[in-house]
Structures are given as C-alpha cells and as structure tokens.
A and B are shown apart, each in its own frame.
Chain A
Amino acid sequence: MSSKRIADYGMIDRSVPLEFSWDGQGQSGYQGDTLASALLANGHSIIGRSFKYHRPRGVMSAGTEESGAMVTVGKDEGSKTRRDPNVKATTQELFAGLTATGQNAWPNVRMDFGAVSGLFGRFFAAGFYYKTFMGVPPFESFSKGTGIWMQYEKIIRRAAGLGESSRLPDADHYEHGHLHCDVLVVGAGPAGMHAALSAAQAGLEVILTEQDFELGGDWLNQGDTAQHKKRVDLIKELEKVGVRIMTRTTTFGLYDYGVAGLLERVTDHLSKPSEHLPRQRFWTLRAQHTILATGAMERQFAFGNNDRPGVMNAHAARTYLNRYGVLCGQNAVVATTNDGAYTVASDLAQAGAQVKVLDTRSDVDGAVLDRARKNNIDVLLSSTAMQTLGRNNVMGVEIANRAVGGGDWRAAGREQCDLLLVSAGWSPVVNLASHRGERPVWDAVEGCFVLPENLNDPITVAGSAAGVWSDTACVSSGRAAGKAAAKAIELALAGKKPRKKTAKKVDAKAAAKAEHLYEVKVAGRKLKGFVDPQHDVTCEDVRLAHREGFVSVEHLKRYTTLGMATDQGKMGNIIGLALMAEALGREIPEVGTTTFRPPYTPISVGALAGRSFGAHFRPLRRTAMHDWNLEHGAKMMEVGLWQRPWYFPQGGEGISEAYVRETIVVRESVGLCDVTSLGKIAVQGPDSAKFLNRVYTNAFAKLAPGKARYGIMLRDDGMVMDDGTTWCLGEGEYFMTTTTAHAAKVMVWLEELLQTRWPELKVHVSSVSEQWAGCAIAGPKSRAVLEKVLANSDEISNDHCPFMGVIESTLENGVPCRIARISFSGEMAYEMYVPSDYAASMMDSLWVAAQSFDGCLYGLETLGALRIEKGHVTGAELDGRVTIEDAGLGGMASTKKSYIGNVLRKRPAMQAEGRPQLVGIFPKNKDNKFKAGALLHAVDANVGDPNCMGDGWVTGVTHSPTIGHWIGVGFLAGGYKAWEGKTLICADPVRQGDVEVEVVSPHMVDPSGNRMKG
C-alpha cells in the first residue's frame, strides 16, 4: 500500500496545515482531515495490531465501522489524563498537536513482538482459553475452581486486548443536558437533510444530528463540484427554516417514548479548548417523531488474509480520494459483486491509479463495462479475490474464478497490487430501530437486513437506511419522510393512528436469482479469512462453534466474540450469519440476527457521569449555620446528604480529647449544638390533634398550646418507625420534629396517611425543615444562656417554660424564635429555632452568652456520647426490627386509643419475652474498650456451632467522661433483667477480639431525670 496525498482533490483546507504526532513521530495533515486520512497521506499502512494474533492492521474503512485503525489518542498530563484508547482513526478529526499512538503492540505497531502469538494461531481458536485453562487437565490439578483461572487471566489479558485506559483522573469535564423537539432527524446525508427541511417547512421544530463534522453524507465522497454547491445551499436553507443542526453528535440510542441519547463531541477536535468547555455533552432528547436517515455500510466478504493492511472497503478509497485528497494505492484491485464499485474504480483510475476489477458476476451491464474500459480499467468477470499476498502490506492478490453462470471457485493466477478494495453490497444501518425492539427482515435481493414497513414507534426510515440507493431516490425518500413525520404528529395530536403501510411485495424471481458472496472457498486451499477483524474471529471459528453445538446466533456471538465491543456487528455481522446458516443448512433469516444494543458507538464513562462526580457526586446539604460552624473550628462529617459538625477541637485536640471535653462542659455548664438537620413538619388544620393522636402511640389529643410531647410512630406492622417531639403552637398548629435520617420518610408517610386513609381529615402537612434553623442549648447553664439572649428573659423562666414547655419569643436583636424545653442529652436543655436566614445571628448571640459560662460548641460525637450515657435511642437502634417495648419505651404505647401499628405490635412474637431489648453495657475490666457492631453472647455459648447466632449486639459505644470508662448500648435477648449480674462476651473477632462485659440499665446517667427536669 503506497498511499499519498494528491493535488487538486479533496475538501481539506490546504491553507491550514496541522502538525500532529503518530507513535512519537511528527506528521502533518490539513484542516478537514481525519487522523486516518492524515496517516494515509503520510504513507502509513500499519495503524494497529489485532486483538488476539497481533496481526498488522491498516485502515479498512472511512467511518464508524472501522476495525483496523484503532488507536490511542491523547496522553497523560501530569496528575490527570487526556488519554483515550480504542479511538477509531477514521472518525477522529485531526487537529494541531494531536498525539496518537498504536496500541496492543510492543515496541510499536510496525514491529510487534506480540506477533509471535500469530504462529500459534491454529491453537487459539474460539473458546481456546476456556477450554484449556478452566477445569481441564492438566491445569486443574494445579489449583481448584476459578482460582487458577484468575492467574491465567492476568497473563492472557496482558497478551491480548485493545488499548489501555489511564488510571489517572480525567482532566476534562462533561455535561448533561435535555433537548426537546418535534422531529429528530438522525443523519445528515441526502435523505436526512431533505427530511429535516421538509419537516421544518411543515412548521415543526427539528433537530438534525450528524456524527460527522460535515453535513452531506455520501455527497462528501463524490468529488462533484456542482453537488457541493447544492449541499452548501441546502445547509443555508436548513438554517433559514430554523433547523437546529448538531454536527459531531452521535445519536447513540433510542429509548422508550421518543427518547434518544445523543453524544456531542465539543472539544475532541480542538487543539487548545477553553477550560470552560466540556469535552462532551450527553444529551437526552425527547422527540414526537424520529426520522432515521442513518445511511448504509458497505459489506465485505471473507477471503484469505483479508485483514492485511491494504484491504479496504471499496467506497472508503473513494472517500479518501474525493474528500481528503488521498490516493490509497497506485495499483488497485477492486473485488466486487455489484455495479457500485465501478464508480470507485473510475475515480481512482482518473486520479492516476492502475485499476483492475474482479467481478463475481458473469453478466454485467454493458454501459458499466464501457465506462470502465474508457478509464483503462481491466475487468475480469466471474472472478474474485482468493487471498492477499504480502507480509505487512498487500503486495498482490491471488485470484479465483469460476465458470460462467456459477460453480466452485478455483485458483486463477496472481495479480500485483498495493490496494485491494472490496465491495459485497450495502447493509442499511438499522441499529437504532433495533434498540426499540424492531426486528429487521431479510431482503434476499439486496442480501441485507432492512426494517419492516410498519414500525411500532413513531419512527420513519429514509434514504439508504431504508434500502434506497440512488442519490435522487434518497432525496425523495427524505422529503417523503419529513412530510410523513408532520402527518404522523398531526394524527397523534388528533388522537388518531397513522394508516398502516402495505408491506413491499417480495420479488421471488429476483430473490431466487440473487447471489451474494460471503466467503471465497477454494477446494484444497486453506484460507484464513476473517469475519470480524476487530476480534480476530475467522470463518473457521464460526464453523468450529457450529461443530461444538452452537446453533443460536446469540450464543455464536458470545462464544466467538463476533461483533462485540466497539464493533457491535458493523463489520462482520452478515458474514457470520451467512456462515452459520450455511453450516446449519438453513437460510439466513432462519438463523436470525443479533439484537443491536445501545450505544451505537462507544461513550466515555465521563460523559455518563456528567457533573455528578467529586464533591458533586451527590448534592451537599448544608445547614444555615454551616459557615458559622466552620468559622468556629468545626470538623465536619457527612450524615446522609447533610454536612454536620463532628467536633470542635481546641488547640491540638484530636476527636478523642475534643468530645470528652465537650461532654464534660455540657454536663457541668452549657454547650451549643447545630440541630438544623432534624426534620421539621408543620401540621396544620382543625383535625390536626386527631391526626397526631392516630399517628403517635401516646396521647396527643389533648396536647395544649405551649406544650411539647415526645412521641413514637409505628409502622403498620407494629415496628418503630421514628421518634421525635411535636410542639403545639396554637389551635390546629403543630410543629413536629423528626430524626435527621427519617425526615423525608416521615413526611411521605404522613402525606400517604392523609391521602389514602384519612382523606376526610382537614390536615395539611408541610415540610418546614429548610425554613427553621435549630440549635440545642444543653447543660445546667442553658436557661441562663437563654436569659441573656432573649428580649424578655422572663419568658424562659421555669414557670413560663417548664420541662416540655414551648414558647414563641424574640431574641435581643429582634429575631423571632420558637423554643421548646426538651432534652436529648439528659441535661436541662432547650431547642431553639429561628428563620434560617437568621441562623448566624442566633449563633452569635448564643455563643457570646455561652462563653460567659465557659460553655462550648459541640458536635455529633458529643451528641452521641451524651445520648448513650442517657440511654436515648437513635436511628442506630431504631433500625426497623425494633418494637416499642424492645426500645424500652413500652410505657408510651397507649392502651386507651387506636393508632397506626397498635394491633400488629401485639402479635405474640412481638411481645415474646426473649426478644432483644435495649440494655446498657459496661466492660468487666473498666480499662477495656469495645466497639459498636460487636455481637454479645453468653460466656458458655458454643460459638463453634454454626447455629449459634449470639444473644445480642452493640449499637453504640462511647468513652463516658461522666462514668469514667467505655460504655455502650445495644440489644440483648430478654433485656437487662434476664442478664443482671451475669458476664457476657462482646465478640468482635475481626477488629477487637473478645471483651468480657456486664449488662446494666440503659439509663446510665441520671436515670431519674432530675437533671433535665430541674
């Protein structure tokens, strides 16, 4: 293959030369080149190495179907990467500074030591690795099961494969977006452009997507100046009628109800893109109607060494000549089964190449032959390519011929050439309709799969995607599709269905006469013909699969890897089916076709992630005093989506020192804690009390204004759902707080109850979690702090606001607030809420006051320590398996009223004495430590018995500054009374080992509650 750039050809801009790098060497191309065209222009023939055998591969096509020129583009840049493996050089737009390297080769694709594996190619047939290394002697004796396979796999993966991803983070960023239109037109060839124009002229909003960077499709390959002008005018017309044109945009998938997935490559063609631009945009488009003008792909047929560099789709050579000004060879042989390739042959001959055509047919239209002869093209009828000659490049071709009218192929001499072009007809690109579950039907005349006339979705197929081949027919087909889309939308708006089209009549005579070539076989010759060059799948592999009992095309695909990975059946699907059909003695449609799946072409993982990565992987939720907490030294932690203060270190304190200090200060003076994340729900309406009384286990019907009450909610099955307090603000006005973890769940639950069980109740529940910012003021000095910050300090007196009292008041600075005297810490404590925009000012006021009592700020760690000392439950205990009795709160279950969960909580199993119940836990040796998550079991338990599940578990631990050693809470079968005075083992085999513990009441500090009520 001796490709070169030639003058006066192509649409490239020769005034803009572009320097780029290939395997470390400087190269040049022009604006408008693809990487493939530029490499060909620079005379490169070996661009890649094959997957398994490391055979040299060159450019085989000019589009997305490329199976040979797979390269790695970009490189690692410092601590980040722009390296992208498995890029098809045929679709990579050239830009100045582009860096490309060969892959799956060492030291490079031109001289690859890995090619030694090709010598053993006869052993590496389909299934070789599985049959050899998985459970087959002698290898199975080395190890067991998959263990040995795991070792082999590493070596195999190193030896075979495609390109390698970088392990560094992606240097680029990606965007997601949504689009809406009336009509989506996929593909901007002659049919697509006219379909878009026609639909837009009918008054519809149209989006036209094109994966290429130019509009025109096959028009770009024809080298026709007059047509070029028409194309430019048509683009102007499309813009004029408001068609949104999206080039460099692949419609990679179609989904339910008019949803399409689009990938727009924004900067993949730019030398120095702005840092603000995303590399790619992943669009979700919703259209009322979709027109598929996705074109067709030229097919090859299999023959000996048909993967050698220099073998190419016939029309690809025309594309390189007329679009990129590259003559792919000086001495070309065109092996064809149809008239189309004669146009290619003529164009090459006119550009100065020696051309010979091998036509499988014995009877060819005289006009076609006349044109060939005028261009000095030799034509051999009843002939074809049997095998390529050469080593790393095509040096010639062995020809096969047969008797006029058919018969077996036989060797018929050799012909020197440096380019072998192959055309076995065209296959419409039906992938997108296949995504929608449409099964293509076999067109025996054309030898390809086409879509049925009537599709289930509002989709119209136009142009060569519909099996329409000539330019003029494609234009007409496009126009008709645009009008059909308009009509379909009109009918849909009117609630009518479009009339079904009459299925095309099969031309039985033509079908019977049609002869299609899938493989050239010559008796007595062993030919290594490739069906899917990307995966090194040969014709023999398909036959082997058949011999081994594979009959389903889907199984064939998985066994041989035919049509998998980035190829997705583009190159060898039909040949594979044909060979399988032949082996099975069936017709191709009886074998079926594989179902194409999205994406049509590969999508980078970054594009799938969009902006959901790093800090924005999930939305961060900050309390209204988040910055205030940070300014005051908070170390934060994530609690669900919330960012909450963990602890407030002083000096060089770590968490262990900080929380102990904070706990002591709260017990002895006062501490402030951000509790904004608690769920807050406004319960309003005349029936609110009745509603609350049905939701909570304890009595709420008579909760008076100015009072709060702690409440437990059960699920229907009687298990505890959540706990919290509800404050009565006035007649029909309540303020409910929930745990942070269950805020949304409780809100949804209350809505559900009102909507489905008690629609007659006049109650509205509204989340006010974001409206109110909250601070817990806990400790013996808490009231004194509030006295300092309230405009009227009398309002917080014990008379005005006793334990479980509620007031609505005003801070010194005029900010309104609501306060309840409730305690999670066991100390005298209050929760104060202000409208969120005043959170920082509330904290400023409280902090000044708290400091005057040597108070502290505290975070979740201290909150946990205080509540464990007190034996209060949280989400760690209320995990959905716990009854109200288990949690030690059975006294709150009313016997005088009905409420959610009331009946099912009384099931015998729920009331069984041996159920795990909340207990406090002390280590026997007070110097010992134990951890949450550990299991509890009796000293004499038979832990070796697989049925021994232990007697309980630990849910929370802390080092208690008040008690002076580690303490914990957990659940234990039978509860405190069953284990009083006994020693248990706290088993934590992975982390801590065994620790002897004893069980105490969960209320380990101030069990009488005097401190909080005082």
Chain B
Amino acid sequence: MAASKQIQVERQSALHGHYEAGLFGLQADREQSAAIVLQEVLNLSLWQVAAWPDTYKSVATKISKAYGSKKPLGPNKSASNAGGSVLRVEPLKFWVIGDTPANKGKDAIAVDEAVWVDQSHSRTQLRITGEHAVTLLNQFLPLDLRESQFAVGDVASSALHHVGVTLWRSQEGYELFIPRGFALALWEVLIEGAAQYGYEVI
C-alpha cells in the first residue's frame, strides 16, 4: 500500500493559466466597484458522504451537529461552522466541504452508517458576489434565486450551459461547484456573460 510522503507539488486547478485577476468588462475603465466579483476557491476539500436508507436519519443528525446545526439538515440545506460545512445534496448524500474526513465529520459517523469518497479534485469552486451576482447566475441557471426563495444556506443542483452544477449560497456568496473538465469552458462563458455588467476577478 501507499507509503505516506509529504506532497511536494502544488495542486493545479482547472483554470490554471487562464485565470487573470483584475477588473474587466463594462466598468473596467470606471472608478466603480465591480458589479460582479468572481473568485476561484483553491484547494477545495470535498468529501461525499453517502448514507443508507436505514442510516440516513442518524447520519443527517450526526453530521449536521458536527457542522453546527442542531437540527438534521433537510435536502438542499447546509450548515457551517469553523470546522467546515456540510451540504445535503441528495436525500442520502452529503458533501463535507473544507474539512477532511479524519476530522469530526467522519469521527461522528460509524463505518457501517455511510461510505465516504473524495471528490476534492472533481469540482472547481467559484465564488460569485456583487450587485449583479444573481443576474449573472440567472443568465445560465433557471433557478429562482430571489432573496425570498434562495437564502443563505440553500443548495441546489442545476445545469449551467448544459453541464450539471451545484450551487450553494454560503455566508461568503454564491458558491458554484463545476465538474472539473468543464470548468474552463464554463469559466469562459461566465466571464463573457459578466462583461456586460463589469466584473472583477480576485
């Protein structure tokens, strides 16, 4: 089996070499804050936890508690604390973000209650904020993202330019998880779509 050794190279994201920070688009030459701010969240840690029909209630309770929610999370809801976040992306499946399975999420759940699989490299995480963040997202996503309908903590699966994506509204903004192979193509259409409002890449 694998010898444990410190990784000596940095992770290289799907946008590597194509990601340029700065102000672009309509407002780039104006002294205004950008209407849309885009940020790639690097070094994503994403573990999928899949429970069984006879254990999902217990798993939901335990994993929700581990990440700060007193109540078990319902579908398409999330909870966060300093240790990380958990998103309930399917009735039986959860995503633990920003934490490793060795930490409290996995500690809380018995081996026979769920299976864990590392998906940290499978998605590119984009954070979208700014006045026109929702407008940009709705150029592609048919979701109802009005404040009253998609609050902080909500999660949705949808399709962006024909590609299945997951959208999570965190405290920091709208977090878009894009399958890695499509990330650059979707990044390109996103920044092209954002240019009409002006955008900043940070």
Contact = CB atoms under 8 A, between A and B. Distances in A.
Interface string B174-202: 00000111101110110011011010000
A810 B4 contact: yes
B interface, over-half SS: loop
A284 B52 CA distance: 39
Contact of B181 (A173, A178, A642, A809): A642
A730 to B, nearest CB: 9
Nearest to A205: B146
Given A178-B141, A766-B48, A810-B2, A771 B122 contact: yes
Contacts of A836: 14, 121-122, 180
Contacts of B138: 177-179
A276 B26 contact: yes
Contact of B7 (A686, A771, A814): A814
A770 interface: yes
Interface in B68-123: 92-93, 112, 115, 117-123
B181 A791 contact: no
Contact of A810 (B5, B141, B149, B184): B5
Interface in A825-842: 835-841
Interface stretch (A80-88, A382-390, A614-622): A614-622
A611 B161 contact: yes
Interface string B6-24: 1111011110110000000
Contacts of A1013: none
B25 interface: yes
A616 B14 contact: no
B135 A177 contact: yes
A620 B184 contact: yes
A180 interface: yes
Given A621-B185, A792-B3, A837 B135 contact: no
Contacts of A766: 48, 50, 117, 119
Interface in B148-170: 148-149, 161-163
A616 B188 contact: yes
Query: Quick one: which of B6, B195, B198 has the most chain A CB within 10 A?
Result: B195
Chain A, interface size category, equals 35 or more
A625 to B, nearest CB: 10
B141 to A, nearest CB: 7
A589 interface: no
B13 A770 contact: no
Given A770-B121, A837-B121, A619 B139 contact: no
Interface string A526-567: 000000000000000000000000000000000000000000
A176 interface: yes
Given A284-B142, A616-B188, A771-B122, A627 B16 contact: yes
Given A621-B185, A813-B8, A180 B144 contact: yes
A845 to B, nearest CB: 9
Contacts of A791: 3, 5
Contact of B196 (A277, A768, A807, A814): A277
Interface residues of B, number: 61
Contacts of B192: 173, 611
B182 A621 contact: yes
A544 to B, nearest CB: 48
A611 B189 contact: yes
A835 B50 contact: no
B194 to A, nearest CB: 9
B52 to A, nearest CB: 5
A435 B9 CA distance: 60
A841 B9 contact: yes
A535 to B, nearest CB: 37
Contact of A838 (B4, B11, B193): B11
Given A616-B185, A813-B8, A274 B122 contact: no
Given A616-B161, A770-B181, A840-B12, A813 B7 contact: yes
Given A175-B193, A622-B14, A837-B12, A809 B161 contact: no
A878 to B, nearest CB: 23
A176 B123 CA distance: 25
Contacts of A772: 121
Query: Quick one: which of A180, A620, A762, A791 has the most chain B CB within 10 A?
Result: A180
A173 B188 CA distance: 14
Given A205-B146, A809-B3, A771 B12 contact: no
A682 interface: yes
A286 interface: yes
Interface string A145-180: 000000000000000000000000000010111111
A676 B180 CA distance: 12
Nearest to B55: A762
Contacts of B26: 274, 276-277
Contacts of A379: none
Contacts of B92: 764
Contacts of B14: 622, 624, 836
Interface string A597-630: 0000000000000011001101111111001000
Given A616-B185, A619-B185, A770 B12 contact: no
A815 interface: yes
A627 B184 CA distance: 11
A770 B122 contact: yes
A653 interface: no
Query: Quick one: which of A205, A682, A772, A792 has the most chain B CB within 10 A?
Result: A682
B121 to A, nearest CB: 4
A769 B2 CA distance: 21
A676 B48 CA distance: 21
Nearest to B6: A814
B56 to A, nearest CB: 12
Query: Quick one: which of B13, B16, B138, B181 has the most chain A CB within 10 A?
Result: B181
Contact of B180 (A274, A284, A611, A624): A624
Nearest to A730: B1
15 contacts: A177-B138, A178-B142, A178-B143, A180-B146, A205-B148, A274-B26, A276-B198, A616-B189, A622-B185, A623-B181, A624-B181, A676-B181, A771-B119, A815-B9, A838-B11
Interface of A: 173, 175-180, 205, 266, 274, 276-278, 284, 286, 611-612, 615-616, 618-624, 627, 642, 676, 682, 684-686, 732, 759, 762, 764, 766, 768-772, 791-792, 807-810, 813-816, 835-841
In the complex, the 10 A-B pairs of residues with the closest C-beta atoms, listed nearest first? A837-B11, A770-B122, A814-B7, A771-B122, A684-B115, A836-B121, A835-B121, A764-B50, A276-B195, A620-B185
Interface of B: 1-9, 11-14, 16-17, 25-26, 48, 50, 52-53, 92-93, 112, 115, 117-123, 135, 138-146, 148-149, 161-163, 179-182, 184-186, 188-189, 192-193, 195-196, 198
